[in-house]
């Protein structure tokens, strides 16, 4: 059911609420999907073959190695195109990088940055957005054909088993709902969550607000994620945040299982403990590229 109302109607069954991102957080698929699917389709659909090396560097920086890691795919697309256009190597080759004006205008006015929303815009006559739609639709197909059965990180399953004893657990993601359903069901993790909220149900901020806002005390709401956008979604809802640090995912989950969850449930998570974790997380992702 791809309707945000399902989140609004969700009523607490436990004392605590925990939201969890999926790609790169629960499943080690970020590198695989972006390097094997997103970057190649970025180059193909926007005719960047003559600067493919720089296009890949830009795409990986935006989506894996910077503070926009985990961003909505359309926001990432706009940033990648704009960064690529400004690179001296691209300028020297005289390559015309597609303009993002219409894409950014659509993102500014759209309440739902999904394929379905973009398709309506294109069908209404905005052909400037057709390449972005074709890219995104092609991406979904390519990810599906990747057929990569990537298991969850170590300590994820044990953490979920511990969480559900005390908390209502929700997947908070910008991946398509269909992809989430497939991945979580394939590995038997769907039994631990009440809703798999993807891009069709809104932003991560909206997921938390609709599902948990006003239903649980703020100090009993926790967001677990591997990207700055996850931290932002938590803070905009006055919720707590636990970071899964890129490159140190296994250690992050083990720490959550053996220490972080106990602190959260005991009410001793907020403050110096959380601040130290977030400081380490923030330091792991730069804001600007080094080229």
Computed on alpha carbons and rounded to an integer, the radius of gyration of the chain in Å comes to 19
CA-CA-CA-CA torsion sign (48, 53, 56, 60): negative
Calculate what percentage of the chain has a pLDDT beyond 90: 92
What tens digit of pLDDT does each residue of 37-76 get?
A: 999 999 999 999 999 999 999 999 999 999 999 889 999 9
Which pairs count as long-range contacts for 174-180, CB under 8 Å and 24+ apart, including other chains? 174/70, 174/71, 174/72, 174/73, 174/198, 174/199, 174/203, 174/204, 174/229, 175/22, 175/23, 175/199, 176/114, 176/115, 176/140, 176/200, 177/2, 177/201, 179/140, 179/143, 179/144, 180/22
Mean pLDDT in residue range 150-168: 97
CA distance 8 to 209: 9
| pLDDT at residue 252 greater than cutoff 80 | yes
CA distance 239 to 260: 15
Calculate what percentage of the chain has a pLDDT beyond 70: 99
| Model confidence band, residue 111 (pLDDT cutoffs 50, 70, 90) | confident
What tens digit of pLDDT does each residue of 182-224 get?
A: 999 999 999 999 999 998 999 999 999 999 999 999 999 999 9
Contact 81, 75 (CB under 8 A): no
pTM here is 0.87
pLDDT value, residue 148: 66
pLDDT value, residue 1: 59
Contact 153, 187 (CB under 8 A): no
| pLDDT at residue 77 greater than cutoff 90 | yes
Question: Which DSSP string corresponds to 143-178?
Answer: HHHH---PPBPTTHHHHHHHHTTTEEEEEE-SS-HH
Q: Tokens for 143, please give them.
A: 């990810």
């Amino acid at each position: 059911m791809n309707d945000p109302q399902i989140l609004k109607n969700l009523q607490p069954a436990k004392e605590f609420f925990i939201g969890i991102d999926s790609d790169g957080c629960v499943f080690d698929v970020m590198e695989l999907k972006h390097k094997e699917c997103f970057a190649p389709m970025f180059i193909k659909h926007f005719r960047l073959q003559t600067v493919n090396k720089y296009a890949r560097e830009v795409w990986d920086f935006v989506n894996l190695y910077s503070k926009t890691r985990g961003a909505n795919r359309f926001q990432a697309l706009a940033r990648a195109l704009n960064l690529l256009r400004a690179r001296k190597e691209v300028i020297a080759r005289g390559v015309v990088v597609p303009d993002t004006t219409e894409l950014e205008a659509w993102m500014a006015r759209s309440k739902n940055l999904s394929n379905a929303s973009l398709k309506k815009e294109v069908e209404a006559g905005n052909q400037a957005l057709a390449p972005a739609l074709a890219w995104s639709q092609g991406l979904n197909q390519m990810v599906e054909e990747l057929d990569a059965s990537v298991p969850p990180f170590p300590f994820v399953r044990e953490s979920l088993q511990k969480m559900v004893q005390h908390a209502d657990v929700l997947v908070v993601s910008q991946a398509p709902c269909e992809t989430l359903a497939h991945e979580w069901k394939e590995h038997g993790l769907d039994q631990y969550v009440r809703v798999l909220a993807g891009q069709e149900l809104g932003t991560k901020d909206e997921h938390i607000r609709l599902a948990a806002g006003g239903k649980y005390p703020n100090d009993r709401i926790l967001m677990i994620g591997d990207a700055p956008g996850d931290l932002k979604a938590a803070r905009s809802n006055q919720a707590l945040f636990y970071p899964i640090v890129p490159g140190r995912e296994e250690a992050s989950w083990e720490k959550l299982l053996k220490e972080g969850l106990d602190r959260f449930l005991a009410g001793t998570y907020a403050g110096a403990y959380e601040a130290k974790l977030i400081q380490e997380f923030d330091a792991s992702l730069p804001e600007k590229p080094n080229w």
